[in-house]
A and B are shown apart, each in its own frame.
Chain A
């Protein structure tokens, strides 16, 4: 057995609900969340990473979930169609109502365009900086700022929060550079 197989096993036996939860913030069904987690696991371990701990591997996969989501255009389209089919969902609460703490933030998040959603997730769930978010998603920093700004407008309005784009991120994962081992 290779060194990465035990890591996958540990992740799916010990951290699976957490990974699913991250995915569930982005997609509308448990089944899609599972697909997303699987895609992220495959993408993560398809290159030698040299994770030094399970926590580090988990953190990487959680980010990969967002990246996989953003990169999967087909899934985005399908999900968007599904989203449109439930347009009467209470998620679409009128931002003009002001502070609405009863709104499901996950539903709000899923109502955002995919790239906006991915940027917000990485920025505020993963606490990545604008630069790191851009690097993670393969976008320019300017694009990330625009997407985050768009997302915050919706979220702040619906939730009554006052998050701003300028807040600095708090953490960064450190992963060994890719090798051939």
Chain B
């Protein structure tokens, strides 16, 4: 009796099976399932082992103390994926943030579409992450929500840490568009997620392995991370205030700023100072406390260089000459009005006033000076062509301009510097829309940091920012995926 019904049902199911015999789940779909399972297992494991983990943390600190070493700073949040693996040395790492074990890296980096070739992360590489590395999350628009986390070494080699489905972990289908702070060998980062229109944003702690995004209740809105202070706190700026938060996004300090709309506040490359542009002058603050340290009046620089036959120099505070010295650039009026070649002067501005300037001849007006190992990089803007006619220059402090990018430069996008290596990336109008070019001063070569073919939608804003180590600490600069240098 019932067998007859079963046979009918079985037969119909087999018909469906036959009709769909060629159906296969693609790699992205499978990864999505795996990531979802991994996330649930991790959450389950956390709830089961929470008490045990607390005990293990105490034990871990005890071991470090017994070894006579500085105990490692606790991660931003418990990392349930970390486990003591065979690759973990019994000796504490000499690094500032010793590892407690390699996390679960992806075994096969995402390929195809806009995803760039990358090598799988290994425990050895993970342990070697140090100055000059960049962390970035890449989520191209056509990847069906998949995002990949890359660590990029100073030479541009990419290693995929993990990939996951962005939408499954970030509310509202937001994308992680800025990774603001991260410590080497830890699996969490402070990040911002936004909708595609960039009208709504959330700050939170991003788990690099699972893609889980824990939104902050204290830092909200589409504010920008300017960088990190030497003690690892993140400096976040909206249009009217600066908020300093720790690695858990707890507010350490907050103070109002009054930057004008044409020159946003900027954090010094070493993370100690904040440059605030007011009407006609600039104010230098302690980035952590907001205390005003000194003011820079660019008219003082104009007084030093004196007037030209065409009138007084126009001087502005724009960028940094070194880790903590604001730059004042003075441009001749003839250059500004007609594009005539004239002397440009550059000053460093400190609490004791202006330093001795250096000068060079140019028909460009320079802005956004950024220190690199061999000097200063500045964006030269053509007065007649504006940003479309900009050029990127390396300015030697002896007044030489040993290098300039010949192609049109849209915007000085980023400078990442570490030791003898700096990579500079900028929008280049000389190549395909959305492509970016980078330059490594140490090698004096230009490289494509994004291959041609990226649409603007795929490029922005998901990959434009990342964290990079400068010296021995983490700072934040907008950065890009670098092509491997051959």
Contact = CB atoms under 8 A, between A and B. Distances in A.
A17 B40 contact: no
B4 A18 contact: no
B51 interface: no
Interface in A99-134: 104-106, 109, 121, 124-125, 127
A86 interface: no
Contacts of A30: 20
B376 to A, nearest CB: 48
A46 B2 CA distance: 34
A161 B4 contact: yes
B292 interface: no
A38 B29 contact: yes
Interface stretch (A21-29, A50-58, A72-80, A139-147): A21-29
Interface stretch (B8-16, B214-222, B232-240, B459-467): B8-16
A159 B33 contact: no
Nearest to B38: A2
Contact of A164 (B1, B13, B16, B21): B1
A106 B12 contact: yes
B8 A41 contact: no
- Interface of A (DSSP majority class): helix
B25 A12 contact: yes
Interface string A1-43: 1001100110011001110111011000010000000100110
B119 to A, nearest CB: 17
A105 B11 CA distance: 9
Contact of A16 (B5, B10, B25): B25
A96 interface: no
B8 A25 contact: no
B281 interface: no
A162 B1 contact: yes
Contacts of A124: 2, 5-6, 9
Given A8-B37, A13-B24, A162-B1, A1 B17 contact: no
A25 B12 contact: yes
A25 B13 contact: yes
Contact of A161 (B5, B25, B30, B48): B5
A21 B17 contact: yes
Contacts of B41: 45-48
A134 to B, nearest CB: 18
Nearest to B24: A16
A137 interface: no
B30 A21 contact: no
A124 B13 CA distance: 12
A155 B44 contact: no
A46 B9 contact: no
Contacts of B10: 125
A106 B23 contact: no
A164 B2 CA distance: 6
A180 B49 CA distance: 10
Interface residues of A, number: 41
B36 interface: yes
A158 B467 CA distance: 65
A163 interface: yes
Nearest to B10: A125
Interface string A151-166: 0100110010111100
Contact of A180 (B2, B6, B40, B48): B48
A8 B30 contact: yes
A167 interface: yes
A20 B16 contact: yes
Q: Which of B2, B4, B8, B14 has the most CB of A within 10 A?
A: B2
B1 A125 contact: no
B85 to A, nearest CB: 14
Contacts of A127: 6
B23 A47 contact: no
A17 B18 CA distance: 8
Contact of A24 (B1, B16, B32, B44): B16
B260 to A, nearest CB: 50
B107 interface: yes
B53 interface: no
Nearest to B104: A2
Contacts of B23: 16-17, 20
B263 interface: no
A161 B12 contact: no
A24 B9 contact: no
B84 to A, nearest CB: 17
B250 interface: no
Contact of B36 (A16, A42, A161, A163): A42
B16 A163 contact: no
A167 B40 contact: no
A51 to B, nearest CB: 13
Given A17-B21, A22-B13, A167-B1, 17 more contacts: A5-B34, A16-B23, A16-B25, A21-B13, A21-B16, A21-B20, A25-B16, A45-B37, A47-B44, A105-B9, A106-B16, A124-B5, A125-B13, A156-B5, A162-B1, A163-B2, A163-B4
Q: What are the 10 tightest A-B residue pairs by CB atom distance, in nearest-first order?
A: A21-B16, A167-B2, A46-B40, A21-B17, A163-B5, A12-B25, A24-B16, A163-B2, A45-B37, A17-B20
Interface of A: 1, 4-5, 8-9, 12-13, 16-18, 20-22, 24-25, 30, 38, 41-42, 45-48, 104-106, 109, 121, 124-125, 127, 152, 155-156, 159, 161-164, 167, 180
Interface of B: 1-2, 4-6, 8-10, 12-14, 16-18, 20-25, 29-30, 32-34, 36-37, 40-41, 44, 48, 107
10 contacts: A12-B24, A13-B25, A20-B20, A21-B13, A42-B40, A46-B44, A109-B9, A124-B6, A125-B9, A163-B4
